[in-house]
Structure 1
Amino acid sequence: MSDPTQRVLLTVEEYLDELLTTLLAGAAALDDVEDVPLAQALGRVLALPVHAAGDVPAFANSAMDGYAVLHDDLASLPATLRVVGAVPAGSSEDPAMGLGECVRIMTGAPLPSGADTVVPVEVTDGGTSTVTITEARTLGQHVRGAGEDVRAGAVVADAGVTVTGRVLGSLAAAGAATVTVRRRPVVAVAATGDELVSPGGSLVRGQIFESNGTHLAATLTELGVQVRGPVVLPDDTTGFTSGLDELADGADLVLLTGGVSVGDFDVSRIVLEESADGVFRHVRMQPGKPQGWARWHGVPVIAFPGNPVSTAISFEVFGRPVIDRLLGRAPVTGPTVAVAGTGWRSPAGRRQLVPVRLSSDETGRLVATPTHRRGSASHMVTSLAGAHALAVVAEEIDSVEPGDIVQIRSL
Structure 2
Amino acid sequence: MQSAPPIFQSVLADSKHTKQSTKTARTQVLAVFVCSTNRPFPPLLNWPSMNTAPLVPAEARAIVLQHITRHNSHPIDHSKALGRVLAQDVISSLDLPPFPNSAMDGYALRATDLQSAPQILRLIETIGAGDVATRTVESGTCIKIMTGAPVPAGADCVVMREETREQNGEVTFEEIAQPGQHIRPKGDDVREGETVFQSGTLINAAVHAMLASLGQATVEVTVRPRVAIVVTGKELVDVDAQLHPGQIRDSNSWALRGLVQSCGADVVSVLRTGDTQSEVEEALRLSATEADVIITSGGVSAGDFDPVRDVLLSQAEVHFWKVAMKPGKPLLFATLHETPVFALPGNPVSVMVGFEEFVRPALLKMAGRTAWKRVEVEAMLQNDLNSPSGRTEFVRARLEQSADGFLAIVSGDQNSGRLSTMARANALLEIAADVTFLPSGTRIRAKLLGGPEIGGF
Q: TM-score, normalised by structure 2?
A: 0.83
Letter in 2 for 1:157: F
Match of 2:223 among 183, 193, 210: 183
Counterpart for residue 25 of structure 2: none
> 1:355 and 2:396 equivalent?
yes
Residue 9 of structure 2 corresponds to none
Give the equivalent residue in structure 2 for 1:392: 430
Map 1:230-269 onto structure 2 (within 5 A): 230-269=270-309
Q: Is the 8 A contact 1:260 1:266 kept in 2?
A: yes
CA contact (8 A) 1:50 1:179 kept: no
- Indicate the residue corresponding to 1:373 in structure 2: 412
> Aligned-pair distance for 1:30?
5.2
Deviation, structure 1 residue 31: 4.2
> In structure 1, what residue type is equivalent to 2:397?
V
Distance 2:401 2:421 in 1: 20
Does the aligned pair in 1 maintain the 2:268–2:290 contact within 8 Å?
no
**1:405 alignment partner, one of 438, 443, 452:** 443
Aligned ranges for residues 204-215 of structure 1 at < 5 Å?
204-215=244-255
* Structure 1 stretch displaced more, 262-271 or 341-350: 341-350
2:53 is matched with which residue? 8
Q: Which whole-Å CA distance do the structure 1 matches of 2:106 and 2:207 have between them? A: 32
What is the SS of the residue equivalent to 1:10? coil
Q: Equivalents in 2 of 1:115, 1:402: separation in Å?
A: 65
Corresponding position of 2:76: 36
Q: Name the SS of the counterpart of 1:9 in structure 2.
A: coil
Q: 1:272 aligns with which of 312, 318, 329?
A: 312
Q: Which residue of 1 aligns with 2:156?
A: 116
* Amino acid corresponding to residue 182 of structure 2 in structure 1: H
How far off is 1:83 after superposition?
A: 1.4
Change (3 A) 1:386 1:79: farther
2:166 match: 126
- Contact 2:95 2:187 (C-alpha < 8 Å) held by counterparts: yes
Query: Could you say which residue in structure 2 is the equivalent of 1:95?
Result: 135
Q: Which amino acid aligns with 1:19?
A: V
CA separation of 1:149 and 1:334: change in aligned 2, threshold 3 A: farther
CA contact (8 A) 1:217 1:229 kept: no
The match for 2:209 among 166, 169, 172 is 169
Distance 1:120 1:282, change over 3 A: same
1:67 aligns with 2:107: yes
Q: Give the CA RMSD over aligned residues.
A: 2.1
**Contact 1:192/1:257 (CA < 8 Å) preserved in 2?**
yes
Shift of 1:279: 4.4
Q: Distance in 2 between matches of 1:165 and 1:2?
A: 49
Q: Equivalent of 1:19, from 43, 51, 64? A: 64
1:300 corresponds, among 340, 364, 369, to 340
Aligned equivalents of 1:186 and 1:248: distance in 2? 11
Q: Deviation per CA, 1:5-50, whole angstroms, max 9, x where unpaired?
A: x8212111101111121x43xxxx6543211111011121111112
Unaligned runs of 5+ in 1: none
Please give the alpha-carbon distance, in whole angstroms, between the structure 2 residues aligned to 1:273 and 1:202: 36
In structure 2, C-alpha distance between the alignment counterparts of 1:280 and 1:127, rounded to whole Å: 81
Aligned to 2:371: 331
Given the superposition, is the C-alpha separation of residues 52 and 9 from structure 1 closer, same or farther in structure 2, using an over 3 Å criterion?
same
Q: CA–CA distance in 2 between the matches of 1:3 and 1:179?
A: 46
Runs of 4+ in structure 1 off by over 6 angstroms are 1-4
Which letter does structure 1 place at the counterpart of 2:244?
V
**Pair 1:285 & 2:325 matched:** yes
Encode CA deviations 1:66-102: one digit per residue, 9 max, x unaligned. Answer: 1112111221111211112111111022520122221
Tell me how many residue pairs correspond in the alignment. 402
2:353 paired with 1:320:
no
Distance (Å, rounded) in 1 between the aligned partners of 2:306 and 2:316: 15
Change (3 A) 1:335 1:225: closer
Which consecutive residues of structure 2, in runs of 5 or more, have no partner in the other structure? 1-46, 450-457
Contact 1:53 1:176 in 2 (8 A): no
* Aligned-partner Cα distance in 1 for 2:48–2:245: 34
CA deviation profile, 1:161-200 (whole Å, cap 9, x unmatched): 1111221111112221110011112111111111111111
Contact 1:73 1:99 in 2 (8 A): yes
In structure 2, C-alpha distance between the alignment counterparts of 1:231 and 1:382, rounded to whole Å: 24
- Confirm or deny: 8 A CA contact 1:233 1:240 kept in the other structure: yes
Change (3 A) 1:403 1:175: farther
Q: Secondary structure at the match of 2:61?
A: helix
1:307 Cα shift?
0.8
- Contact 1:336–1:407 (8 Å) recurs in 2: yes
> Aligned partners of 2:263 and 2:338: how far apart in 1?
24
2:39 counterpart residue number: none
Q: Distance in 2 between matches of 1:165 and 1:128?
A: 45
In percent, how many aligned pairs have the same letter? 36
Q: CA deviation at 1:356?
A: 2.5
Partner Cα distance (1:366, 1:333) in 2? 20
Tell me whether 10-19 or 119-128 shows the greater mean CA deviation: 119-128
Q: Is residue 108–residue 155 contact of structure 2 (8 Å, CA) maintained in 1? A: yes
Are the aligned partners of 1:339 and 1:403 in contact in 2 as well (CA < 8 Å)?
Answer: no
Aligned-pair CA distance for 1:351? 1.9
Instruction: Give 1:389's aligned amino acid.
Output: A
- How does the TM-score come out when normalised to structure 1? 0.92
Give secondary structure in 1 for the equivalent of 2:361.
helix
1:285 Cα offset (Å): 1.6
Is the partner of 1:251 in helix, strand or coil?
coil
Residue deviations 1:338-372, cap 9 Å, x none? 31351132223322212222321024x233323x3
C-alpha contact 2:237 2:247 (8 A) present in aligned 1 = yes
State the SS of the aligned residue for 2:150: coil
